[in-house]
Amino acid sequence: MIRILSTLVIALTLSLSFGGAAWSHAVLLSSTPAAEASLDVSPKEIIFNFNENVGPIFIKVLDRTGKEVGNPGEWQTDGNDVLMSLNDELPNGTYIATYRVISADTHPVGGSVVFAVGEPIASMDDVAAAGGETSGWVIPVVINRFFQYGAMLLAAGSALFIVGMSVPASVQPSVYKIGRTAAIVAAVTYVLALGFGGAEMMLGGVGAIFSADAWSQALGSTLAPSALIGVPGLLILIFAFGKGPEGKSTAMLLAGSAIAVASFLVTGHAATAPPVWLLATMVAVHLFCAAFWIGALYPLAKTAQVADVKEAGAVMTQFSKRAVWTVAALYVSGAVIAWNQVEGPANMLSTDYGLRLTAKLAVFFMLLGLAAVNKMVLTPALEKADGAAPAKLRRMIKFEYAAMVLIIGAAVSLTMVTPPRATMDMEGGMAMGGGFQATVVKGKYTADVSVDPAGTTASNMVMIEFKDDAGNPVEMVDVTISWSLPTAGLEGIEGRGEMVMPGMYHFTFDQLIIPGEWDARIDAFVDDFDKQIFRTTVPIK
């Protein structure tokens, strides 16, 4: 009896549910204005044309600040069209028209189109020409970075000189003092780098450095791990230098300088370029050698000033022997880094990065010339107790100081542009410096996401690189990104990625014209059926 009842109920529900009708969910076929249209005059209405009758939930037109314009709340349907009249003229500018409608299958769908009135929509060429937006904070960033590099190298170099050289007793106290001062200055610059860097990332105004958002931006960037490593290393040096020559601790001096140099390996294009094991090693060697050379200049000048000629000669001879290997290592490591970053001699004079590197090399070779004079002329003169040699040596060291200042300046300027290695040569020659970068992990896959310039004034290029847990690129069958800005009620901005090399996908979005925290959902199909969903929030400024 129970079976009969069950069967009857099943039969009844079968008959009621037979043949689910094949409705499609709504698809936008066209819009007026068309997507990315640049209109001479303000449109009189916004029309979205779908492939079926839909029920509108909302239509909005937003300006670049996210403010709703037009006739909020007033829309009509006409067959498969949903439209909203615009009674007032829209001022010149770029707008985003967005919709959310219910399909015939009751499933909601949303989308957006961007259009402009009285001005062109910003193109990739505009961004390529501008090189991305900057604010007034770029100047403090550069100045602080100059002192950060110089002070860190001087502090670490002073430590290396004390450990590696026979420093005359009369010179030691001042070397310790110089080293300590440099370490203190360097530590302060690491902290300032966070504030200045965050304010620059936000393109903030004068008070940006005092905003929590600026520091939050900085803490989310590689400036934070660099500071977390660099500051403790410098604190060790401050303590070690503070003990003076009587309390010399070789271990602390070496540890402090090593940690301070290591702080440069977690940031920047050079140290993080693949293969990381090679480039990071080369950068470390390059920095240690540069630090030793910079750290040597003051003690050598001081030795020439206060010590007797013979003692000065002995110190210079010792330094010259070490300098040969130091300069060789400095040159080789620099050449490897340059070759990796520049990707060919042709780029040395045809790219911004290449020109700055060329200038740095030119000064370096001048410095080599000065060093050669020191080694081949002044050092032998000191050994022969030539009374005029110390003054000549001090004069040459002043020139070396000046060259070092220029080299550090050139090195800082290199950090402000993108090397050819990191530049993807797309249709418009766009530089992918990455206004925003993030790594998202989902299971055994990672997605390195880069959005350039992450700004509202131009097309945003998105690059995503997928890797497995062994670091190997993963070629996905299909990758799409869906953007939404909940605070403005925007959604449904979608794009499909184009593979530019195995595991790396490129997208272009013109619709991210409103500043805010945009949610990006990345759907990546590892195979036909296995979908991995990555989510991240991208600040668009």
Query: Applying CB under 8 A, does 21 fall inside the site for other proteins?
Result: yes
Q: Which stretch binds other proteins (CB under 8 A): 113-121, 385-393, 442-450, 527-535?
A: 527-535
Query: Applying CB under 8 A, does 13 fall inside the site for other proteins?
Result: yes
Structural tokens at position 125: 């060429």
Q: Which is nearer to other proteins, 143 or 500 (CB)?
A: 500
Structural tokens at position 507: 């997208």
Query: Applying CB under 8 A, does 535 fall inside the site for other proteins?
Result: no
Q: Which is nearer to other proteins, 52 or 383 (CB)?
A: 52
Q: Which stretch binds other proteins (CB under 8 A): 20-28, 202-210, 377-385, 441-449?
A: 20-28
Q: Which residue type sits at 172?
A: Q
Cα 480–482–484 angle (5° rounding)? 170
Tally the C-alpha atoms within 13 A of residue 293's C-alpha that lie toward its C-beta: 28
Interaction residues for other proteins, span 486-505 (CB under 8 A): 496
SS3 76: strand
Query: Applying CB under 8 A, does 68 fall inside the site for other proteins?
Result: no
Shortest CB 478 distance to other proteins, Å: 5
Query: Applying CB under 8 A, does 427 fall inside the site for other proteins?
Result: no
Distance (Å, whole) CA 234 – CA 261: 10
Q: Which is nearer to other proteins, 51 or 318 (CB)?
A: 51
Residue with tokens 């020191």: 374
Structural tokens at position 4: 């009969």
Distance (Å, whole) CA 162 – CA 369: 25
Query: Applying CB under 8 A, does 2 fall inside the site for other proteins?
Result: yes
Q: Which stretch binds other proteins (CB under 8 A): 14-22, 89-97, 419-427, 500-508?
A: 14-22
Query: Applying CB under 8 A, does 213 fall inside the site for other proteins?
Result: no
Element at 145 (helix H, strand E)? helix 138-164
Of 67, 107, 384, 444, the residue at the interface with other proteins (CB under 8 A) is: 107
The torsion region of residue 402 among left (phi > 0), alpha (psi -120 to 50) and beta comes to alpha
- For residue 111, give the nearest of 396, 391, 405, 483 by alpha carbon: 483
* Angle in degrees, 0-180, between the axes of helices 276-306 and 309-342, rounded to the nearest 10: 160
Of 42, 51, 80, 249, the residue at the interface with other proteins (CB under 8 A) is: 51
Query: Applying CB under 8 A, does 79 fall inside the site for other proteins?
Result: no
Distance (Å, whole) CA 193 – CA 226: 10
Tally: H helices and E strands in the chain: 13, 18
Q: Which is nearer to other proteins, 107 or 395 (CB)?
A: 107
Of 45, 81, 105, 519, the residue at the interface with other proteins (CB under 8 A) is: 105
Of 94, 98, 103, 413, the residue at the interface with other proteins (CB under 8 A) is: 103
Query: Applying CB under 8 A, does 88 fall inside the site for other proteins?
Result: no
Query: Applying CB under 8 A, does 525 fall inside the site for other proteins?
Result: yes
Structural tokens at position 136: 């007034």
- Let me know: does 531 contact 514? Beta carbons within 8 Å: no
Residue with tokens 């960033």: 141
Query: Applying CB under 8 A, does 87 fall inside the site for other proteins?
Result: no
Query: Applying CB under 8 A, does 278 fall inside the site for other proteins?
Result: no
Distance (Å, whole) CA 389 – CA 266: 43
Query: Applying CB under 8 A, does 30 fall inside the site for other proteins?
Result: no
Give the DSSP letter of residue 473.
Answer: B
- For residue 179, give the nearest of 227, 234, 229 by alpha carbon: 234
Task: Show the site string, 460-479: x = touches other proteins by CB under 8 A, - = not.
Answer: -----------------xx-
Count of residues near other proteins by CB under 8 A: 37
Query: Applying CB under 8 A, does 376 fall inside the site for other proteins?
Result: no
Q: Which stretch binds other proteins (CB under 8 A): 98-106, 187-195, 286-294, 385-393?
A: 98-106
Enumerate binding residues for other proteins (CB under 8 A).
Answer: 2-3, 5-7, 9-10, 12-14, 16-25, 27, 29, 51, 103-107, 109, 477-478, 496, 525, 528-531
